[in-house]
Amino acid sequence: MMTELEIGGVVLTIDYRRTGDDRGPSVRVFGDVDDERVQLLRFDCFDDDPHYHYAPTGVNRMFHLDPLTMGCPVEFTLDQVGRNTRAMIAAAGFEEFAEGVDQSALAEQIGDVQAAIDAEAAG
């Protein structure tokens, strides 16, 4: 199962991933760049190794989350999507695309993202 949400000029896909011995919800952020759907960001809220990626199919800069200092990976992800998606997309190398992202719309609809994560995790 996968949920797709169009919010603020981006498409968010939410699913529950299993990879190796790890698993958890994943939130991917897509945008149309040069008439091609590109994965701009990905948040993997895994049980053992939660992390996020800038431009996962490009430069793929990955950062691990420290649950001690960053808390719950799902809460971290919701906070970033609600407050920092535009800046993170620019940092991923898509500055021009980022200018068209409506961060306010993402903040206003973060409850929809939470509901999709909950539904995917419930299976």
Answer yes or no: are the C-beta atoms of 86 and 103 closer than 8 Å: yes
**14-62 pLDDT, tens digit each:** 999 999 999 999 999 999 999 999 999 999 999 999 999 999 888 899 9
DSSP-H helix ranges across the chain? 67-70, 73-91, 95-98, 103-108, 110-122
Minimal CA–CA distance to 46: which of 69, 68, 7, 77? Answer: 77
In this model, does residue 12 exceed pLDDT 90?
A: yes
Q: What distance lies between CA 106 and its chain's CA centroid?
A: 11
What are residue 7's phi and psi, to 5 degrees?
-140, 130
Grade residue 9 by pLDDT with cuts at 50, 70 and 90. very high
Q: Provide the pLDDT for residue 67.
A: 84
Domain extents in the chain:
2-122
The b/e string for 28-65 (b: 16+ C-beta within 10 A; e otherwise) is: bbbbeeeeeebbbbbbbbbeeebebbbbbeeeeeeeeb
pTM of the model: 0.95
